[in-house]
């Protein structure tokens, strides 16, 4: 008996379909936004970046497929290892990473000679580890020392290591962690206290950086915020060009491959790819992209709701929060609702690290969805004793953390 495609690609079918549709948008937008650049750099070869992006996309889909086959209990066990790997990687990046615009964000992978953005891996590792910690401390979640204190330490460590080089990523990660804590039933007064401490810590860091003689990213952050606020003074060049692209797109756009702003707008293939999509496909294309991410949010929220265990529910929620917030921040920057942040559009923007990490996040979500479907088929109405035993077996995973 022949197997259908959804017998091979298990888990939520809607999520698989959304990923493939976003992939099609990505290929079209990347080809359009990089054609001129590739022509100049590679002697007329306009397809260089397209083919490179296609290879990364296929590799990422392969990773996503592999991850979705791993049982979520194994992923929960790996979260601690990932976190302990992310911290030294961030430290190494600060000292020996590749610098760009006064910020060390990348390290070079030996032998492969590929750049890897460690903050993307750290985001994934922290949210996985935080989901596991919250799940393991549900019995003492209201206790400040045994519950809350253990949760905030890894959040502060990772965000503090990312902050000097990438304020927006650190801020979005901190916000995602706060939301996950709220979903995990952490007391609201503890969360407000955490937010207050975070604001004070950031203000203290900025103050030190401004009065010191060393070069830092604070000047860049300041200029971006000032440009966003003082629109009468001309605003930010990137933001202005993005608005021009969006305004010229109209209802149905100029047509695929007919963008003008791709030759003017910095990083049109990553930080501002949403603006290029709107210029070429118009308001219709923008609404389709927004709709896809909203459906993705709905489908993942449904997985959280169906899960009868805390660990996998929080794991899916963590991955969903990271991805959806980043997507809407990217779109908000493109249309001028937010200051320039440099955040990519998940599954659409060109970038090997971003695409790979997004695929792992989605693979984790599909892993939980696959397990729920499997459990429903094998035991639609489990006996109380059996269900209790399964819960105790999963609790053993968290005790290690």
Tokens representing residue 102 in the block: 């006064």
pLDDT the model gives residue 3? 63
Between the alpha carbon of residue 281 and those of residues 246, 248, 274, 277, the distances in Å are 10, 10, 10, 6
Please tell me which of 20-24, 116-120, 229-233, 379-383 the model is most confident about, judged by mean pLDDT. 20-24
Please name the residue that has the structure tokens 């047509």: 255
Between the alpha carbon of residue 218 and those of residues 205, 208, 213, 242, the distances in Å are 9, 10, 12, 24
115 confidence band (pLDDT: 50, 70, 90)? confident
- Segment 344-359 mean pLDDT: 90
CA contacts within 13 A on the Cβ side of 60: 25
pLDDT at 398 over 60: no
Higher pLDDT, 346 or 109: 346
- Segment 301-318 mean pLDDT: 92
- Segment 9-38 mean pLDDT: 90
Residue 387, number of CB atoms within 10 A of its CB? 15
Mean of the per-residue pLDDT values of the chain: 84
pLDDT at 304 over 90: yes
pLDDT the model gives residue 212? 60
pLDDT at 36 over 70: yes
pLDDT at 233 over 80: no
Higher pLDDT, 337 or 315: 315
Higher pLDDT, 4 or 130: 130
pLDDT at 384 over 60: no
pLDDT the model gives residue 8? 80
pLDDT at 61 over 90: yes
Tokens representing residue 198 in the block: 């975070």
Distance CA 266, CA 239 (A): 10
Model pLDDT for residues 255-289, shown as the tens digit of each residue: 988 888 888 888 889 889 999 999 999 999 999 99
Model pLDDT for residues 184-211, shown as the tens digit of each residue: 999 999 999 999 988 888 777 777 766 6
Structural domain boundaries in the chain: 68-343
Residues above pLDDT 90, as percent of the chain:
47
Of 159-173, 214-228, 318-332, minimum mean pLDDT range:
214-228
Distance CA 132, CA 75 (A): 10
pLDDT the model gives residue 391? 42
Number of residues assigned to the chain:
401
pLDDT at 376 over 80: no
pLDDT at 114 over 80: no
117 confidence band (pLDDT: 50, 70, 90)? confident
- Contact (CB, 8 A) for 274 and 289: yes
Higher pLDDT, 44 or 239: 239
Higher pLDDT, 99 or 71: 71
Higher pLDDT, 199 or 331: 331
- Segment 360-382 mean pLDDT: 83
End-to-end CA distance of the chain: 44
Residues above pLDDT 70, as percent of the chain:
82
pLDDT the model gives residue 82? 95
């Amino acid at each position: 008996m022949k197997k259908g495609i959804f017998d091979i690609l298990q888990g939520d079918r809607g999520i698989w379909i959304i990923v493939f549709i976003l992939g099609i948008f990505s290929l079209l937008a990347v080809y359009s936004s990089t054609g001129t650049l590739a022509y100049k750099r590679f002697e007329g070869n306009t397809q260089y970046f397209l083919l490179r992006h296609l290879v990364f996309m296929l590799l990422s889909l392969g990773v996503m497929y592999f991850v979705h086959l791993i049982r979520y209990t194994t992923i929960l066990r790996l979260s601690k290892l990932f976190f302990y790997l992310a911290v030294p990687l961030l430290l190494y990046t600060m000292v020996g990473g590749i610098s760009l615009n006064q910020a060390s964000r990348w390290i070079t992978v030996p032998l492969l000679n590929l750049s890897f953005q460690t903050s993307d891996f750290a985001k994934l590792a922290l949210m996985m580890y935080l989901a596991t910690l919250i799940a393991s401390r549900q019995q003492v979640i209201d206790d400040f020392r045994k519950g809350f204190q253990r949760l905030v330490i890894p959040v502060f460590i990772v965000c503090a290591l990312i902050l000097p080089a990438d304020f927006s990523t650190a801020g979005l990660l901190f916000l995602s962690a706060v939301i996950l804590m709220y979903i995990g039933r952490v007391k609201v007064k503890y969360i407000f206290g955490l937010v207050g401490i975070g604001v004070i810590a950031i203000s203290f860091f900025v103050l030190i950086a401004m009065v010191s003689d060393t070069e830092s990213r604070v000047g860049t952050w300041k200029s971006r915020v000032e440009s966003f606020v003082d629109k009468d003074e001309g605003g930010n060049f990137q933001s202005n060009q993005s608005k021009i692209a969006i305004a010229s797109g109209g209802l149905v756009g100029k047509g695929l491959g007919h963008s003008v702003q791709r030759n003017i707008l910095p990083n049109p293939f990553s930080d501002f790819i949403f603006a290029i999509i709107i210029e070429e496909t118009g308001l219709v294309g923008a609404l389709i992209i927004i709709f896809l991410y909203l459906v993705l949010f709905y489908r993942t929220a449904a997985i959280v709701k169906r899960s009868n265990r805390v660990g996998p529910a929080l794991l899916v929620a963590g991955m969903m929060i990271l991805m959806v917030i980043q997507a809407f921040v990217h779109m908000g920057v493109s249309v001028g609702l937010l200051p320039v942040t440099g955040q990519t559009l998940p599954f659409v923007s060109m970038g090997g690290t971003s695409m790979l990490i997004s695929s792992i996040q989605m693979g984790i979500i599909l892993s939980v969805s696959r397990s729920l479907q499997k459990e429903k088929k094998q035991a639609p109405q489990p006996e109380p004793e059996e269900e209790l035993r399964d819960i105790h077996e999963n609790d053993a995973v968290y005790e290690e953390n």
